[in-house]
Amino acid sequence: MVRPKEGILDPQGEAVRGALPALGFGDVETVHVGRLIEMELENADDVDSMCRRLLANPTIEEYEWEVVG
Amino acid sequence: MKIGVTIFPGSNCDRDALHAVELMGAEPVELWHADADLKDSDAVIVPGGFSYGDYLRPGAIARFAAVMGPLEEFARDGGPIIGVCNGFQVLCEAHLLPGALLQNTHMRFACDRVRVRVETTDTPWTSGCNVGEELTLPIAHNEGNYFADAETLARLEDEDRVVLRYLENPNGSANDIAGVCSEGRNVVGVMPHPERVSDPVLGSDEGMRILRSVLAGARV
């Protein structure tokens, strides 16, 4: 999961937050839009390195990852 | 003088840049993304477009193309490089320039002509301009909102590394920044497109004020 770092302007999140009250969901305080990257691999040793070097840009984004299944 | 223009899948200003190089009286050199060398280029333009479809983040995938290895070496050796629009994004992703280009704050694609001010002439790409000179240049981008942390911004300002500044900020960029240069000053990134105003037939050749600057430092 990659998303904008705290404090980095997230215009997509803002636009979604602005749209929710129109549907009656008025009590949403913050929305952040990120992206979910799914990978199939044999072992997860290099995932952190993949995140730092390509999947996320540490200047503007933060990431977290987990092994499922 | 040979000026290389990198071509990634999805670059779309490469022809314009090659044409501008011809008009400058220099020899244009096509640098395919899979090329392993810069073909003796004396300067390199990384043009605009949507390299690799802007997938993941603009410039994120182009940054690992084969041609980027020799380009990074060229940068370290002091070779003049300018990244325009997507080229600027590629150079930031490659860490040849600080910061990143975020989505425009207003969430719309910005396509316009904007006024910018030349803030420093101490780069190979602005050496022929005057400090404070104003240029009208086209912009066309969705991610042109320059971001760097407060410390980096302060450093850029202190070290006179803001190259171009918008007179009216079109995208939310920090400090109205339209272009910056590297610590060594030889790598420049700008969001506006000088190559699109390189010929009077295009309505203006003001972009040549920037592009022609590099000729002055030509290694003969």
pLDDT tens per residue, range A7-55 = 888 888 988 999 999 899 988 998 989 999 999 999 999 999 999 999 9
Q: Which of B13, B85, B92, B181 is catalytic?
A: B85
Question: What global pTM score does this model have?
Answer: 0.94
**Contact across the interface for A55 and B56, Cβ inside 8 Å:** yes
Question: Regarding predicted confidence, which is higher, B219 or B13?
Answer: B13
**Contact across the interface for B107 and A59, Cβ inside 8 Å:** no
Q: Is B26 left (phi over 0), alpha (psi -120 to 50) or beta?
A: beta
For residue B138, give the CATH number of its domain. Answer: 3.40.50.880
**HSE of B111 in the Cβ direction (CA atoms, 13 Å)?**
1
Domain count across chain B: 1
- Kindly provide the ipTM of the predicted complex, given to two decimals: 0.84
In which domain, by residue range, is B23 found? 2-216
Q: Which of B:69-128 have CB within 8 Å of A? A: 92-93, 99-100, 102-107
Per the listing, tokens 């030349």 go with B118
CB B189 within 8 A of CB B179: yes
Is residue A49 less than 8 Å (CB to CB) from chain B? no
Helix (H, G, I), strand (E, B) or coil at A51: helix
A to B CB pairs, distance under 8 Å = 33
Amino acid in the structure at residue A22:
A
B145-167 residue pLDDT tens? 999 999 999 999 999 999 999 99
The two structure tokens encoding residue A63: 């990431």
> What stretches of A1-69 show up as alpha helix (H) in DSSP?
11-19, 47-50
**Contact across the interface for B106 and A11, Cβ inside 8 Å:** yes
Domains for chain A: give ranges and CATH numbers. 2-63 (3.30.1280.10)
State the smallest CA–CA distance between residue A68 and chain B in angstroms. 22
- Closest CA in chain A for residue B55: A55
B164-210 residue pLDDT tens? 999 999 999 999 999 999 999 999 999 999 999 999 999 999 999 99
- 3-state SS track over B80-129: CEEEECHHHHHHHHCCCCCCEEECCCCCCCEEEEEEEEECCCCCCCCCCC
Q: Which pLDDT value is given to residue B220? A: 41
The proportion of chain B whose per-residue pLDDT surpasses 70, expressed as a percent, equals 99
